[in-house]
Amino acid sequence: MTFVSKPRVRHPNLPSNELGLTRRDYEGSVSTLCAGCGHDSVSAAIVQACSELSLPPHRFAKVSGIGCSSKTPSYFLNRSHGFNSVHGRMPSVATGANLANRDLMCIGVSGDGDSASIGLGQFAHVVRRRTNMLYLVDNNGTYGLTKGQFSATNDKGSTSKKGLPNLYEPIDLVSMALQLGASFVARSFSGDKSQLVPLIKAGLKHKGMAFIDVISPCVAFNNHSGSTKSFEFVRENARSAVNADLILGQPEITADYAEGTQENIVMPDGSTLQLYKIDANYDPYDRIGAMTYVQKMQEQGRVATGLLYVDPDAMECHDIMETTARPLNELTEEALCPGSEVLAGINQSYR
Amino acid sequence: MVVVLETRMEPTNIFDPNYFHKVVDCQHACPAHTPVPEYIRLIAQERYTEAYMLNWDSNVFPGVLGRTCDRPCEPACRRVRTEETPVAICRLKRAAADNKGDVTSYLPHVPTEKNGKRIALVGAGPASLAVARDLLPFGYEVHLFEQDEKGGGFMRSQIPAFRLPEEVLDEEVDRILNMGVHCHFGQAIDSMRELMEQNFDAYFIGTGAPRGRDLELTGREAVDDYIHIGIDWLSSVAFGHITEIKGKVIVMGGGNTAMDCCRTSLRLGAESVKVVVRSAFEVMKASEWEKEDAMREGIPIINNRPPKEFVHENGKLKGVLFECVTPVRGEDGRLRYEPSGEPDEFIECDHVLMAIGQDNHCPWIERDLGIEFDKWDCPTLDEVTLQSTNPNVFFGGDSAFGPENIIWASAHAHRAAISIHLYCQGRDLKADRPPEGLNLLSTKMGVHEWAYDSEHDPAARQLVPLVEHESSLNNLKVEVELGFDAQLAAQEAQRCLNCDVQTVFTDNLCIECDACVDICPMDCISFVENQPEAELRQSLMAPALNVDQDLYVSGSLQTGRVMVKDEDVCLHCGLCAERCPTNAWDMQRSVVHIPQLGSFGE
CB contact under 8 A, A13 and B522: no
CA distance B89 to B32: 14
Q: Best of B78, B510, B579, B586 to disrupt the A interface by mutation (most A CBs within 10 Å)?
A: B579
Q: How far is B451 from chain A (nearest CA, A)?
A: 14
- Residue contact B524–A34, C-beta within 8 A: no
Mutate to test the interface with B, among A2, A3, A4 (most CBs of B within 10 A): A4
Look at A13 and B542 and tell me if their CB atoms are within 8 Å. yes
Angle value at C-alpha A64, between A113 and A136, nearest 5 degrees: 70
Chain B environment of A41 (Cβ under 8 Å): 513-515, 518
What's the Cα-to-Cα distance from B331 to each of A297, B328, B334, rounded to whole Å? 64, 10, 7
DSSP letters, B529-562, are: ----HHHHHHSSSS----TTSPEEE----TTS-E
pLDDT digits (tens, 9 = 90+) for B443-456: 999 878 899 999 99
Q: How far is CA B263 from the centre of its chain?
A: 22
List the single residue in B513, B542, B573 with the smallest CB-CB distance to A11: B542
CB-CB: which of B515, B541, B545 is closest to A35?
A: B515
Topology annotation, domain B212-358: FAD/NAD(P)-binding domain (3.50.50)
Give yes or no for residue B136 having a pLDDT over 70.
yes
Query: Are the Cβ atoms of A9 and B82 closer than 8 angstroms?
Result: yes
Q: Which residue of B has its CA nearest to A11?
A: B522
Cβ-contact B357, B255 below 8 angstroms: yes
Closest residue, chain B, to A76 (C-alpha):
B518
CA distances from B86 to A17, A271, B81, B347 (A): 29, 45, 9, 38
Give contacts of A43 with chain B, Cβ < 8 Å.
518
Q: Hey, which residues does B439 pair with through a beta bridge? A: B591
B568 has a pLDDT exceeding 70: yes
Question: Which chain B residues are Cβ-neighbours of A232 within 8 angstroms?
Answer: 511, 558
Q: Which CATH number fits domain B2-16+498-600: 2.30.110, 1.10.287, 3.30.70, 1.25.40?
A: 3.30.70
Q: What is the pLDDT of residue B357?
A: 87
Q: Which residues of A touch B (CB under 8 A)?
A: 1-15, 23-24, 30-31, 34-38, 40-41, 43-44, 190-191, 193, 217, 219, 223, 231-232, 235
Q: Which pLDDT tens digit goes with each residue over B171-208? A: 999 999 999 999 999 988 999 999 999 999 999 999 98
Instruction: Indicate the fold that domain B116-210+371-424 takes in CATH.
Output: FAD/NAD(P)-binding domain (3.50.50)
CB burial class (10 A; 0-12, 13-18, 19+) of residue B567?
buried
pTM (2 d.p.): 0.89
DSSP states of B443-487: -EEETTEESS--S---PPPPPPPB--HHHHHH-TTS-SB----HH
Low-confidence residues of chain A: pLDDT under 70 = 1-2, 250-260
pLDDT confidence bin for B602, thresholds 50/70/90: very low
Q: Tally C-beta pairs within 8 A across A and B.
A: 102
Cβ separation B511–A36 shorter than 8 A: yes
Cβ-proximal residues to A53 (8 Å cutoff; 6+ apart), any chain: A17, A201, A204, A205, A246, A248
Chain B residue numbers with beta carbons less than 8 Å from the beta carbon of A31 are 519
Compare CB distances from B448 to A2, A11, A38 and report the shortest one's residue. Answer: A2
Q: Do A41 and B515 touch (CB under 8 A)?
A: yes
Rounded to the nearest 10°, the torsion over CA B59, B64, B66, B72 is -60
Residues of chain A with C-beta less than 8 angstroms from the C-beta of B543: 13
Determine the distance in angstroms separating the CA of A77 from the nearest CA of chain B, rounded to an integer: 14
| B558 contact residues in A (CB cutoff 8 A) | 232, 235
Query: Which member of B456, B514, B581 has the closest CB to residue A44?
Result: B514
Residue B581 distance to chain A (closest CA, Å)? 5
Where do the domains of chain A lie? 23-321
Judge whether B2-16+498-600 and B116-210+371-424 match in fold: no
Residue-averaged pLDDT of chain A: 92
CA distance A239 to A245: 17
| Residue of B251, B252, B230, B233 whose CA lies nearest to B242 | B233
Q: Which positions in chain B touch A237 (Cβ < 8 Å)?
A: none
Q: How far apart are CA B219 and CA B422, in angstroms?
A: 54
Fold of A23-321: Rossmann fold (3.40.50)
Quick one: average pLDDT of B327-346?
88
pLDDT > 70: percent of chain B: 98
Predicted confidence at residue A247, as pLDDT, reads 81
What does the alpha-carbon distance between residue A128 and residue B137 come to, in Å, rounded to a whole number? 86
Give the pLDDT confidence of B272-289 residue by residue, as tens digits.
999 999 999 989 999 988
Instruction: Give the up-direction half-sphere exposure of residue B161: CA atoms within 13 A in the CB hemisphere.
Output: 19
Q: Do β-strands A133-139 and A209-215 pair in parallel, antiparallel, or remain unpaired?
A: parallel
Residues on chain B touching A217 (C-beta within 8 angstroms):
513
Task: Compute chain B's Rg from CA coordinates.
Answer: 27
Q: What is the pLDDT of residue B6?
A: 53
Residue ranges of the domains in chain B?
A: 2-16+498-600, 31-105+460-493, 116-210+371-424, 212-358
Element (H, E) at A345: helix A340-349
- Nearest-CA neighbor of B120 among B181, B187, B191? B181
Contacts of B454 in chain A (CB under 8 A): 4
pLDDT at B334: 86
**Smallest CA–CA separation between B536 and chain A, in Å?**
16
For chain B, the average pLDDT equals: 92
Burial class (CB in 10 A: 0-12, 13-18, 19+), A270: exposed
Contacts of B82 in chain A (CB under 8 A): 9, 12
- B316-322: strand order across its sheet: B307-313, B316-322, B345-348
First to last CA, chain B: 53
